[in-house]
Amino acid sequence: MNAEKVVFAFFIVLALTLNFGFYIGDIDNPDHHNVYELFFAIIISMIATIMKFGDRTHIGAVLLATSLVADLQLIIAAFIWGAATHVLDSGMTPAIMASIVSLTGGALLANFTSVVLLIVETALMRH
């Protein structure tokens, strides 16, 4: 029972679940996508990325890469949201909402890959 491994896996899976929770629902309906969930998804995803730093193995490098991809997409989604509500004249439209959700969909796939790699790494080390 290794505390570090528990924490590591916890954050990776949490990032995936929060991301999925935000993503699910009608793609252009703002009521189906809670901004707080996106916020937490970003925070947890960033923490999960930090936890993957400093691993010199190949699988560690790929894990870090997928995390960075997820972070990137989520942050861009957040920026678009912020720009839509404060900067643009149109405000939040279904089209923009759809863009935001599709970006988080991409991040979801990256997080999913992260979890798959985690499972692979765990399976390889059978102790």
Partner 1 sequence: MYHVLFLLFRRLRRPITVIIIVYGISILGLTLIPGQDNFGNPWQMDFFHAFYFVSFMGSTIGFGEIPYPFTPEQRLWVIFTIYATVISWLYSIGTIFKLFQDANFNRLVKRTRFNYRVGRLHQSFYIVCGFGATGSRIVRQLNSHGIKTVVLDASRQLIDQLESEELSLSVPYLCDDASHPDVLELAGINSNLCIGVLALTANDHTNLTIAIASKLANPNRVVISRTQCQETTDNLASFGTDYIIDPFKIFASNLLLTIQEPYKQILHNMIINPRHNVWMSPHQNMKGLWVICGYGRLGKALHKLFQEHEIEMTFIEIDPVGTEAPGGTIVGTGTQAKTLLKAGLKNAVGIIAGTPDDADNLSIIITARQIKPDLITVARQNDTFNKPVFRAAELNVLVESGRIISNEIYILLRTPLLNEFFKLLAQESEDWTRALIVSINKKIEYSEVDAWTLTISKYESLAVYDAIDEGISIKIGHLISDPRNRKTPLPAVPLLLKRDNNFQLLPNDDTKLRHNDQILFCGEESAQTYMRWASNNHNVMRFIRNGRGEPDGWLWRWLTEKKRARQNKLIE
Contacting positions for partner 1 (CB under 8 A) = 35-36, 39-40, 43, 46-47, 50-51, 53-54, 56, 78, 81-82, 85-86
Q: How far is the CB of 62 from partner 1 (least distance, A)?
A: 15
Tell me how far CA of residue 126 lies from CA of 23, 57, 84, 119, 123, in angstroms: 34, 17, 49, 11, 6
Nearer to partner 1, 40 or 112 (CB): 40
Nearer to partner 1, 54 or 123 (CB): 54
Nearer to partner 1, 1 or 53 (CB): 53
Contact between 66 and 114 (Cβ < 8 Å): yes
Separation of alpha carbons 99 and 102, rounded Å: 5
Separation of alpha carbons 66 and 72, rounded Å: 10
Q: How far is the CB of 43 from partner 1 (least distance, A)?
A: 4
Say how far residue 50 (Cα) sits from the centre of its chain.
Answer: 13
Q: How far is the CB of 82 from partner 1 (least distance, A)?
A: 4
Tell me how far CA of residue 43 lies from CA of 39, 52, 92, 94, in angstroms: 6, 15, 23, 25
Nearer to partner 1, 20 or 39 (CB): 39
Q: How far is the CB of 123 from partner 1 (least distance, A)?
A: 25
